[in-house]
Structures are given as structure tokens and as C-alpha cells.
Amino acid sequence: MISREHKYLFNLARKGMKIAELFNVSGKVAIVTGGSRGIGEMIAAGFLANGVKVYITARKEAALIEKAKELSEMYNGECIPVPCDLSTMEGMDDFVSFVQSKEDHIDYLINNAGASWGEPYAEYSEKGWDKVMDLNVKSIFYLTQKLTPMLAKQASLEDPSRVINIGSIDGLNVPALESYAYGTSKAAVHHLTRVQAKRLVGENILVNAIAPGPYESMMLGAAVNHDYSLIESRNPRKRIGSPEDIAGLVIFLCSRAGAYTVGAIIPSDGGLVGIAGHDLSQS
């Protein structure tokens, strides 16, 4: 009698190694939190361009609805806006209830929503610390927990569901700015990813994290007055990240090509961590 594992390998060989099969994500359903701008928008765009139905979240309702309409028209896809505050349990419950009313399962959860807070060390406030930790760490754990039944619904050995947590190289390096909670929260995201990966792999839900370096965003832009030239000059690749960089990595992790990658923390930073080995404050 042929074992389950041998059947799986036989079916894989029969399908072959064509790009269209290895990186196909079409027909899937994804959630991208914080999907109205920055890295979240880039990820949502990559999914939509490749046939994925995408739910995006943000707190600012008007901007979210406009962005969903723009992305739907641009990529001839289905981008559904869901205004909510994922930093609260009530906001997460409302969001999950909405998704459950529309879908019987989801395939990909991209935990991207995040916040930062900068203040001098001696003045760093509890309000800022709690805001960052609630959105960047607590919401990832509880939103994933609440959506686990939907992620597991159609997940299988051959076609697992995916969770991707968006961390940061500030969780790998010591950040230059006085954003004490931010770097700490992202280090927590990276370790939480490993913990979640161990717990969920048995349910055919694969959890990984991406640690982005500098990408165009409101958060980074505000810190550098939207002038990225100095950051680009200090990057081994001499540029900041592009939408293709982050979307391509997410599609890899969500596709058949990434189905053996579990509990990984993958930098997407032009070499800042792996080559330069220092933070953005250094030359």
C-alpha cells in the first residue's frame, strides 16, 4: 500500500516544476491588515495582480474605501475594505465576524498593521508603549487565534494555509531612533512567529515572518521628511525596497514554492542585516 507521503511526492512530480504551478496563488482568499498604504498596500496589490481576493483593514474608513476601489480597478480584482481598529479585542471581534459572514475559509493572513511611537528615553510614555504593543504584538496573536478555524478549514498537507507576520529589521538590529517600544515589539513578533509556527504546523497552517528594511511608507517617511536619499546611500543595494520586492516575497511564501518554509524570519532589506550588519544610523 502506498503511503500518504509517497502519494504526495508522486503527485508533486507529476505536476512538474513549471513557474505557473510553483508560484500560483490565484483563486485564494487573503486578509492584509493595514492594507491601505505602505507595505500593506504593496502586498495587497501583488495579490490582486495574481488573482487573489483580498480583504484590507485600516482605521481611517474613507481612505480605506477609496484605496480598495482604486486597487480593484487597477488590477481588475476584488479588494474589500473593512474599517476597524485591530488594537482592541472589540475591533478584532467585529472584523472576524464580518469575514465569517462573507467567507467560509481564508487561505492567507498577512499581519501587517503596525504603529510606532518616538519619545526621549526619560519621557517615554506608557500610552505610547501600550499603543505599539497592542497593535504590533497582541493583535497578531489574537487575530490569528480567532481566524485559525477559517485558516484550517480548507488547509491540507498538499495545500497549507499561510500566516505571514510583518516584523522589521528593527527587531533584529538596535534601532537608531528613540522608538523603544517599536523595536522591542518587532523582536517579539519574530519570536511569536516561531511559537505560532510550532503550534499551527500540525493543522497545515504555515507561519513565517518578513523583516522589512526601508520601504516607502508614512511611518519611515515621517522620520526622514520623505527624503530617502541618505537611507539609499547607506544601503548595500543603494535603494529602498520596491513593491515588487515585498509582494514577490509574500507570493513565494504563500505559493507552492514556499510550502516547506516554516517558522522563518526573512529579512527584506537590501542586505542591511546580512551584509552591512548595522542599523540605519551608521555609515
The answer to whether residue 8 is catalytic is: no
- The single-letter code of the amino acid at 2 is I
Q: Are 146 and 86 in contact (CB under 8 A)?
A: no
Q: What is the DSSP letter of 272?
A: I
| DSSP string for 73-137 | HHHTS-EEEEE--TTSHHHHHHHHHHHHHH-S--SEEEE---------GGG--HHHHHHHHIIII
> Cell numbers of 175, please?
534601532
Residue 169: how many other CB atoms lie within 10 Å: 21
Give every CB contact of residue 5 below 8 A, 6+ residues apart in sequence.
none
Give the separation between CA 209 and CA 227, rounded to whole angstroms: 27
Residue 180: how many other CB atoms lie within 10 Å: 18
> Cell numbers of 176, please?
537608531
| Main-chain phi, psi angles of 184, to 5 degrees | -65, -40
Tell me how many helices (H) and strands (E) the chain has: 11, 7
Strand, helix or coil for residue 241: strand
> Cell numbers of 173, please?
538590529
Residue of 182, 215, 228, 260 with catalytic role: 182
Catalytic positions: 182
